[in-house]
Amino acid sequence: MKEAKKATAKKESKNSKSTTTKTAKATTTNASPVESQEKPPVSSPAMPKPDSASASASPSPPAPAGPPTIPATHGKVGVFGGPKDRGIKPDDKLALPTGPHFVYERARALNPKSFYCAMRWNYHLEHMSPEEAKRWWANKKILVTNAKNGASIVVRAVDYGPHESTGLDISLSPGGAEALSVEIGDEVDIAFAEPSAKLGPVNQ
C-alpha cells in the first residue's frame, strides 16, 4: 500500500511540474513587451511656424503717385552716335524703342546733325513694366542749356547712358553739342521740354 501511495505521489508531482512548465512557456510566448519601457510619444504633424520677421513687419505703403523725374537737372555733357562714332559697334542698338512701331534703332545709323540725347533713365516707374517705361521715355523731349552762354536746344531721348564711370550725366548728338557750343565735360542744365516743342535750337 505504501509503495502504491509513493508511486501515485510521484505521478502527481511530475504532472504538476509539466503543467507548470507548459503554463510558463505559454506565458512567455504570449507575453507583451515590457510595460516599464516607455513608448515614444506620438507627435502630431508639425505646424509651420510663422516667420518672425514677416509677422512683425508691417506691409510697406505704396509708392506715392507722381510724374517721373529727369535723371539729373545739372551735369556734365558728352557726345555720341552717328557713323563716325567708333566707340559703338555698327550693330549696337539704342536702349529706347524710338523707331516707328517701337523699333530699336542702331546708334551708328543716327544722323549726327540731328538732335538727340542719352541719359540714365529710370525704368522703374509706377504701374509700368520696364519695357513700358522704356516706351514712355522714348523720344521724350529734353531741354538742354549751356550754363556758360545760356544757349538752349531741345533734343529727343534715344539711348541709355553715359556710363557712371565717365562722370558724365548726359550725352548729346554731335550736332546738338555744336549748337550749344559745348565740349565733352562742360556743364549744362537739363529739364523736360514742352511736348510740342520743336527739336533744335531754342530761339531766345
Confidence of residue 174 (pLDDT cuts 50, 70, 90): very high
CB 196 within 8 A of CB 96: no
* Size of the chain in residues: 204
Beta-carbon contacts of residue 145 (< 8 Å; ≥ 6 apart): 151, 152, 180, 188, 189, 190, 191
In this prediction, residue 203 carries a pLDDT of 83
In this prediction, residue 67 carries a pLDDT of 77
Could you say which DSSP state residue 86 is in? T
Strands (E), the chain: 74-79, 116-119, 141-146, 152-160, 170-172, 187-192, 200-201
Kindly tell me if the per-residue pLDDT of 24 is higher than 70.
no
In this prediction, residue 31 carries a pLDDT of 46
Beta bridge partners of 201: 153
**Domains along the chain with CATH numbers:** 74-199 (2.40.40.10)
Residue 100: exposure state from Cβ atoms within 10 A (0-12, 13-18, ≥19)? exposed
Please write the tens of the pLDDT for every residue from 126-156: 899 999 999 999 999 999 999 999 999 999 9
Tell how far CA 71 is from the center of its chain: 21
Q: Please, what is the average pLDDT of the chain?
A: 80
